[in-house]
Amino acid sequence: MLCDQTLWDLVTAERITIEDVAAVDAYLADPATGEHRIGSDYTLDLTTAVARYASTHLPTELMNPHEPSRRMAIRSALLMAKPRER
C-alpha cells in the first residue's frame, strides 16, 4: 500500500532516520534498482522515484555518478517520493 507521506515527512516525524534513506548509493550502483528497503516498515522503487522527481532536473553534466550535485539531486528526489508500507 502506498504511504500518504513522503520520505522527508517520515524523517521529520521521526518514523525513519535520515540514515535509513541510504538509497542514493544503491541507486548509483545500479540505476535499474527497483524496490529498496527503507527502514523496517517501508520500501521505495528507486528507479521510479528518480525518474519522476529528478530526471528532468539532471543536466548532462551531472550524469557522472561521483558528482556531488548528482548525489544531492538523487537524494532530493528520493526524499520527495512516497514509499510503500511493507
Q: Measured between alpha carbons, how far is 81 from 12 in angstroms, rounded to an integer?
A: 14
CA distances from 24 to 1, 86 (A): 23, 20
Q: Summarize pLDDT for 12-55 with one digit per residue, the tens.
A: 999 998 888 788 888 888 888 889 999 889 999 999 998 888 76
pLDDT at 57 over 70: no
**Could you give the 3-state DSSP secondary structure of residue 18?**
helix
- Cell digits of residue 25: 548509493
Question: Considering the entire predicted model, what is its pTM?
Answer: 0.81
- Orientation angle between helical segments 46-53 and 68-80, nearest 10 degrees: 100
